[in-house]
Structure 1
Amino acid sequence: MTQRYSGIWPVAPTPFLPNGQVDAEGMKRVLDCMIDQGVDGICILANFSEQFLITDDERAALTRLSLEHVAGRVPVIVTISHFATPIVVDRAKFAKDLGADIVMMMPPYHGALLKGTPEQTFEQFRAVGEVGIPIMLQDAPLSGVDLPVPLLVKMAQEIEMLKLFKIECPQAAAKLRALIEEGGDSIEGPFDGEEAITLLADLDAGATGTMTSAMIPDLIGPIVQDFLAGKRQAAIDGYARVLPAVNHENRQCGFRAAKAAMVEGGVIASDFCRHPIPPLHPGTRAMLLELLRPLDPLVLRWGK
């Protein structure tokens, strides 16, 4: 890697059995498939892991299972977001004790109206920083919390363990560019997200990595590598090739896409999502696979 925090660090989906229980053996297969996809790191328990549909006990069990099974083969990021600062701190300590490399968190929010102020957001991140594990800040529309660049720069400069910034708000490239310009060396890992739907613009703005889904990281990772190596046209060509599939995932499927592809490729047995999440429409699923097959991603043949 060109620096410590770069490349592709996708989110692992959480597989469920058809009866709705967590599929522990399937989770191990998901992680093995991702490592075989050539990822630079793995994130668990994020929004694309359906963290809002699992219990606290399941979260703890998945953290332990994932870290034990990955066993240092790649770095692991554990998502710890919660509105309550003591709970976030406890989750950070738990992840660190089990050997996590990084924790990821959104600013404090709950629903549409309970949103942390800039001061409360700073205080929560500072409290987690005292745990002594690197932090990735997730700036995502889901939280509804405004995180202006001056606040992010202040946090980066004053919270030693805040190392990475996953920027996936509207106009992410403009925010990444401003963040890097104003934050300088304190912005160690500027990343984007949103399934790489804005990847080229974000790399052009200075992003060094991306956090996609686990659907086609074997195809997106080389785009990042080419761009960071100065092979601009190769990156553009590679991106143009995968963009229809990325667009369909981002705009039509969401986190259900990676699981549908993993079922098709024999990685997991079921793409069940807990209520109130509906299953993918058969037509939406069919078009996803139609767009993926010509790309020949590992996910479609890993378990066959």
Structure 2
Amino acid sequence: MPGWEGIWPVAPTPFLDSGEVDYDGMRRVLDCMVDQGSTGICILANFSEQFLLSDEERERLTRLSLEHVAGRLPVIVTISHFATPIAVARAQLAHDLGAAAVMMMAPYHGALLKGTAEQTFEQFRAVGQVGIPIMVQDAPLSGVDLPVPLLVRMAREIEAVKLFKIECPQAAAKLRALIAEGGDAIEAPMDGEEAITLLADLDAGATGSMTSASITDRIKPILTDWAAGRRDEATAGYARILPFVNHENRQCGFRAAKALMVEGGVIGSEFCRHPIAPLHPDTRRMAIDLARPLDPIVLRWGK
């Protein structure tokens, strides 16, 4: 099993200008992420536009990604679905193809159809029977409250539940409470949301981060410095990247990584499927302008 510390960026899903999935581009995305020095890679997450993909495309991308990475890095496959049998089937496919773990949100469908605490526990328990480590994604998108006692219960009673990506409001406070109450059962507390709260989350005990694939190589040293006790260096490093991270998180979302990858020759198009609008040219320009002084690998990988 891999160590879960470090940086686990989310792979964007590239499309052609026609709107079809760019499968060759996906291979280039994965190669770039390996070259960025990623600890591992997460696919089919919200920043992968998983909600804009068909089931057939999801399965093909799962197979392609695990076959192409070919053990160079561990891969986490996102499997969230409201229906427990579908989540279980997705977990089984990921397990059979050699994924390191799966990631899932609580069951939800829209604003009003949400799993209760017990239904959420039951879904995670069912997926846990597949025998692959599970990352709990505590994300605002689901609209489902995952209180610390529920997360601790899952960690203690479901052997597969090992990882916790906390990206709810006041994430640091929740991470601190989760670690304090869960103890050794909380194997891998992680930061999310493009590292917008990274320092606070590290201070609260996070041991890893799941960011976008934009500037992985510039965020990773912050984690390394913090883990080594070099807090001044970590803080200075975070100050350098924060203008870009803030712009990505607040203005661009998953479209930033695609813009940088097009700029750097990794992929040929930053197309997003309707109803997602393209970045405004000025917003895109600022993303590139803020990233360029950092000289990330993504901006020169394909040139």
Pairwise TM-score range, normalised by the shorter structure:
over 0.9
Match of 1:229 in 2: 228
Match of 1:174 in 2: 173
Match of 1:149 in 2: 148
Match of 1:83 in 2: 82
Note the 1:130-209 alignment, pairs <5 A: 130-209=129-208
Q: Distance in 1 between matches of 2:285 and 2:272?
A: 18
Match of 2:128 in 1: 129
Deviation of the 1:192 alpha carbon? 1.0
* Corresponding letter in the other structure for 2:265: G
Summarize deviations over 1:27-69 as a string: whole Å, max 9, x none: 0000000000000000000000000000000000000000000
* Corresponding letter in the other structure for 1:285: R
Match of 1:4 in 2: 3
SS in 2 for 1:290: helix
Summarize deviations over 1:126-162 as a string: whole Å, max 9, x none: 0000000000000000000000000100000000000
* Corresponding letter in the other structure for 1:156: A
Q: How many residues align?
A: 302
Structure 1 residue ranges without an equivalent (≥5): none
Summarize deviations over 1:243-290 as a string: whole Å, max 9, x none: 000000000000000000000000000000000000000000001111
Q: Distance in 2 between matches of 1:85 and 1:229?
A: 41
| TM-score using structure 1 length | 0.99
Note the 1:199-278 alignment, pairs <5 A: 199-278=198-277
Q: Distance in 2 between matches of 1:37 and 1:231?
A: 22
Q: Distance in 1 between matches of 2:215 and 2:289?
A: 14
Runs of 4+ in 1 over 3 A off after TM superposition: none
SS in 1 for 2:39: coil
Q: Distance in 1 between matches of 2:288 and 2:59?
A: 33
Q: Distance in 2 between matches of 1:69 and 1:222?
A: 26
Deviation of the 1:4 alpha carbon? 1.7
Summarize deviations over 1:140-189 as a string: whole Å, max 9, x none: 00000000000100000000000000000000000000000000011001
Q: Distance in 2 between matches of 1:68 and 1:22?
A: 17
Q: Distance in 2 between matches of 1:289 and 1:145?
A: 34
Deviation of the 1:73 alpha carbon? 0.4
Match of 1:98 in 2: 97
Deviation of the 1:199 alpha carbon? 0.1
Match of 2:50 in 1: 51
* Corresponding letter in the other structure for 1:169: C
Identity across the alignment (%): 78
Q: Distance in 1 between matches of 2:85 and 2:227?
A: 39
Match of 1:20 in 2: 19
Q: Distance in 2 between matches of 1:181 and 1:47?
A: 29
SS in 2 for 1:40: coil
